[in-house]
Amino acid sequence: MQFRPMGHSGTAVSALCLGTMTFGAESTEAQSFQMMDDYAAAGGNFLDTADVYTAGTSEEIVGRWLKARPTEARRMVLATKGRFPTGPDANDLGLSRRHLRQALDASLHRLGVDHVDLYQVHAWDALTPLEETLRFLDDAISQGKIAYYGVSNYLGWQITKAVHLAKAHHWAPPVTLQPQYNLLARDIEHEVVPACLDAGIGLLPWSPLGGGWLTGKYKRDQTPTGATRLGEDPERGVEAYGPRARDARTWAIIDAVQAVAEGRGTGMAEVALAWVRDRPAVTSVILGARTPEQLAQNLRAADLTLSPEETARLDAASAPLVGDYPYGAKGIAQRHRRIEGGR
């Protein structure tokens, strides 16, 4: 298992992180324990959860595993999140000092720990001043409740604003960003990735397999059925499958992943995970498995390194779509003219 610094921090985490959103819902507690055992045995040391995963049950399962595995618990880097509703009250959500204080304390209680290594704000909150959120997080570091903090689902300007606001007030800056990132969803490369590279922030991609699409489980002109997320919910399956299935780009990307996988004699999931793991700014890729068997397949990506030719093939098939301006040809030409002293 490869290890990398967690953003610009001094803490090292494995390049594959075990996500726990399925724990207590799609995965039983026994399956969840097995996946954490298998992940630890493979050398992984990074667990990611959140207070809203299965209404707190995910954190409780992780907490019981940590208590039952003290040796493994000591080497695990533990991450959780707060922001989304945890109750019916008007203040049971958001990034206010009031809600985050209660949410963090509740997470620590469910996890059975006195601190977490990484506390992440789960999404932007337009109603709470960013200063209030960042000051709370800096205070939480001073109090020893968290070691570092990160953000999730932020835009490029929001990341940059948080970084420079923290710097101006001499508060601790964010070290990570958790975004959706995979071969089917590369739009963060326009603004978000450059903002993170500029600030030394590490990416923790979620949905690296595009909701299962990049494993090859969905087929052309065939509505999902059976034991898949879309197949088990027919109404959602038709709604979610249709738009992506009608996009020729989807199948071009899937075909490219399949070709690389067949050439390597490995699975499509491993190829898709290896690709995103080695993108600029990526610290660790969050694996979201429902069963130990799925996790075992995903963990095989730890030993796969794509060649430059394979990477170029996947890059070309999945290149994010852009218009003429500001990211396309007109925007590039305009930037070149300004660099050369013209208008």
| Distance in angstroms (rounded) separating the CA atoms of residues 14 and 78 | 12
Contact 29, 61 (CB under 8 A): yes
Whether 160 shows a pLDDT value over 60: the answer reads: yes
Whether 11 shows a pLDDT value over 60: the answer reads: yes
Q: What number is the average pLDDT over the span 156-170?
A: 98
Q: In this predicted structure, what is the pLDDT of residue 245?
A: 82
Q: In this predicted structure, what is the pLDDT of residue 224?
A: 58
Selected residue with higher pLDDT from 242 and 172: 172
Reduce the DSSP state of residue 327 to 3 states and report it. coil
Across the chain, mean pLDDT equals 92
Q: In this predicted structure, what is the pLDDT of residue 165?
A: 98
Q: In this predicted structure, what is the pLDDT of residue 41?
A: 98
Whether 240 shows a pLDDT value over 90: the answer reads: no
Q: pLDDT tens digit string along 266-295?
A: 999 999 999 999 999 999 999 999 999 999
Q: In this predicted structure, what is the pLDDT of residue 168?
A: 98
Q: What share of the chain is helix, strand, coil (3-state, %, to 5)?
A: 50, 15, 35
Whether 181 shows a pLDDT value over 80: the answer reads: yes
Tokens of 107: 């997470």
What amino acid occupies position 342?
Answer: G
Report the share of the chain in percent with pLDDT over 90: 83
Residues that are catalytic:
53
Q: pLDDT tens digit string along 283-335?
A: 999 999 999 999 999 999 999 999 999 999 999 999 998 877 888 777 666 65
Q: In this predicted structure, what is the pLDDT of residue 231?
A: 55
Q: pLDDT tens digit string along 226-235?
A: 555 555 565 5
* Fold observed for domain 3-218+266-304: TIM Barrel (3.20.20)
Angle, in degrees to the nearest 10, between helices 268-277 and 292-299:
60
Selected residue with higher pLDDT from 337 and 51: 51
Q: In this predicted structure, what is the pLDDT of residue 225?
A: 60
Q: In this predicted structure, what is the pLDDT of residue 278?
A: 98
Question: Model confidence at 338, in pLDDT bands (50, 70, 90)?
Answer: low
Q: In this predicted structure, what is the pLDDT of residue 321?
A: 83
Burial of 261 (0-12, 13-18, 19+ CB in 10 A): buried
pTM: 0.90
Whether 241 shows a pLDDT value over 70: the answer reads: no
Q: pLDDT tens digit string along 101-151?
A: 999 999 999 999 999 999 999 999 999 999 999 999 999 999 999 999 999
Q: In this predicted structure, what is the pLDDT of residue 189?
A: 96
Residue spans of the domains in the chain: they are: 3-218+266-304
Report the share of the chain in percent with pLDDT over 70: 90
Q: In this predicted structure, what is the pLDDT of residue 293?
A: 97
Q: In this predicted structure, what is the pLDDT of residue 230?
A: 53
DSSP string, 147-187: EEEEEES--HHHHHHHHHHHHHHTPPPP-EEE-B-BTTB-G
